[in-house]
């Protein structure tokens, strides 16, 4: 099920990304974090390597790869730098995937080649007053002639500052909750769009997380993604897929903590021996490794089910829930293994600890994942 059961192509991708991440991303990861700097050069290279068009069919300029190879790539990138992992995920699974899955031929031809060549994408669903309650969004889209006029503020948009293309959700019928939402593909240089507040964050500090403000922004009818009133389905299906990516990111962060903790415990001495000789440390490493392996298995399983074209909502939420909570637990213990050193910026575990936290929050909090899983479990018994 793990590395041994990856196809030759998936193993190749794992090795390629792992080598790239080790050589090009890891050496600058703490600088990206410290300076809150979007890693433009690395992202440019990821475009060149084809990882920013991971799922896009080759006829639109993409790599046409599957979901399992995606989670393998996201794990390796996030193991080096969770910020870079988040940028790649917001672009691929939150912006490209809904266009691939719900776009018309014309929309795909217009947007996907650009999004494989260098135009960063983002996903604008949440608002200042609605995060977990996605159906409670207030941004309105009123149809007038051949255009929709959008007004409202989107928040927590990963890649918001750099993105050229956004998948945006707005209410076309404010009398309804989920049934009144429509998805749009929007060029962010259009008139009536501005950037709002940029968040100063605990972790994934190399990503931008911004508000996008729409003020009488005219969006042509041809930019409706899917059907009017079916935007909630677009959002939920996109998040189902995106959550597997977050699980992979959490696995990558946790693996980085284990790598670092193992190395440190073999070097650090106390009471006349290496601290790795103490069971107190060994048991921590054993629990970390077990949790990571279980998280990776759940993540691979969700990706495999998706690749087989079966329903994977429950598996995606299970993978995200388990992997993100494992990453947080592993990161907390990782700092403990490093003692006082782990609490300083001299070692990378404090960054991993801060980065791990977001995986329990974005693309649906752990509480939302439990709601999704419970609903699926209960409906299976009917």
Q: Does 276 bind ligand CAA (CB under 6 A)?
A: no
Least separation in angstroms between residue 132's CB and ligand CAA is 5
Contacting ligand CAA (CB under 6 A), which of 126, 255, 324, 326?
Answer: 126
Binders in 300-329 for ligand CAA, by CB under 6 A: 313
Least gap, CB of 227 to ligand CAA (angstroms): 12
Site string for ligand CAA, 328-367 (x = CB under 6 A): ----------------------------------xxx---
Query: Phi and psi for 172 in degrees, rounded to 5?
Result: -95, -10
Answer yes or no whether residue 195 interacts with ligand CAA by CB under 6 A: no
Binding span for ligand CAA by CB under 6 A among 43-51, 121-129, 270-278, 336-344: 121-129
Q: Is 363 a catalytic residue?
A: yes
Q: Which of 135, 142, 190, 289 binds ligand CAA (CB under 6 A)?
A: 135
Taking CB under 6 A as the criterion, which residues in 218-257 touch ligand CAA? 232-233, 236-237, 239-240
Going by their DSSP bridges, the two strands 181-187 and 193-198 should be labelled as: unpaired
Q: Which of residues 57-86 bind ligand CAA (CB under 6 A)?
A: none
Cβ nearer to ligand CAA, comparing 50 with 160? 160
123 binds ligand CAA (CB under 6 A): yes
173 close to 163: Cβ distance less than 8 angstroms:
no
With respect to ligand CAA, which residue has the nearer C-beta, 14 or 91?
91
Q: Which is catalytic among the residues 127, 325, 350, 363?
A: 363
Distance of closest approach, residue 262 Cβ to ligand CAA, in angstroms: 31
Tell me the residue nearest to ligand CAA as measured from the CB. 364
Q: Based on the shown chain and the rule CB under 6 A, indicate whether residue 125 belongs to the binding site for ligand CAA.
A: yes
If the CB atoms of residues 56 and 90 are measured against ligand CAA, the closer one turns out to be: 90
Write out the catalytic residue numbers: 363
Residues that bind ligand CAA (CB under 6 A): 90, 94, 123, 125-126, 131-135, 156-158, 178-179, 232-233, 236-237, 239-240, 313, 362-364, 368, 371-372
């Amino acid at each position: 099920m793990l590395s041994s059961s990856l196809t030759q192509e998936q193993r190749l991708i794992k090795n390629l990304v792992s080598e790239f991440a080790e050589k090009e991303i890891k050496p600058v990861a703490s600088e990206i974090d410290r300076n809150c700097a979007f890693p433009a050069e690395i992202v440019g290279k990821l475009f060149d390597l084809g990882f920013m068009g991971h799922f896009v069919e080759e006829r639109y300029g993409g790599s046409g790869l599957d979901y399992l190879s995606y989670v393998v790539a996201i794990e390796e990138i996030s193991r080096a730098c969770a910020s870079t992992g988040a940028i790649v995920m917001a672009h691929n699974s939150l912006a490209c995937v809904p266009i691939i899955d719900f776009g018309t031929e014309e929309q795909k031809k217009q947007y996907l080649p650009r999004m494989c060549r260098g135009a960063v994408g983002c996903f604008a669903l949440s608002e200042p007053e609605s995060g977990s309650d996605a159906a409670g969004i207030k941004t309105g889209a009123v149809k007038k002639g051949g255009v929709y006029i959008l007004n409202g503020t989107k928040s927590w948009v990963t890649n918001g500052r750099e993105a050229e293309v956004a998948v945006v959700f707005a209410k076309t019928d404010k009398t309804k909750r989920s049934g009144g939402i429509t998805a749009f593909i929007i060029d962010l240089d259009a008139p009536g769009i501005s950037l709002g507040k940029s968040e100063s964050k605990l972790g994934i500090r190399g990503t931008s997380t911004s508000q996008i403000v729409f003020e009488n922004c005219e969006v042509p009818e041809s930019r409706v993604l899917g059907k009017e009133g079916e935007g909630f389905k677009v959002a939920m299906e996109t998040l189902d897929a995106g959550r597997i990516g977050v699980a992979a990111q959490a696995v990558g962060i946790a693996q980085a903590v284990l790598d670092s903790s193992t190395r440190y415990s073999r070097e650090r001495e106390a009471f006349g021996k290496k601290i790795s000789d103490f069971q107190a440390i060994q048991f921590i490493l054993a629990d970390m490794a077990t949790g990571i392996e279980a998280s990776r298995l759940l993540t691979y399983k969700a990706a495999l089910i998706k690749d087989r074209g079966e329903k994977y909502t429950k598996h995606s939420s299970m993978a995200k829930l388990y992997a993100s909570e494992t990453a947080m637990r592993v990161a907390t213990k990782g700092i403990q293994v490093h003692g006082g050193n782990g609490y300083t910026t001299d070692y990378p575990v404090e960054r991993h600890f801060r980065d791990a936290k977001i995986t329990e929050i974005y693309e649906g909090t752990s509480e939302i994942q439990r709601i999704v899983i419970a609903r699926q479990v209960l409906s299976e018994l009917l």
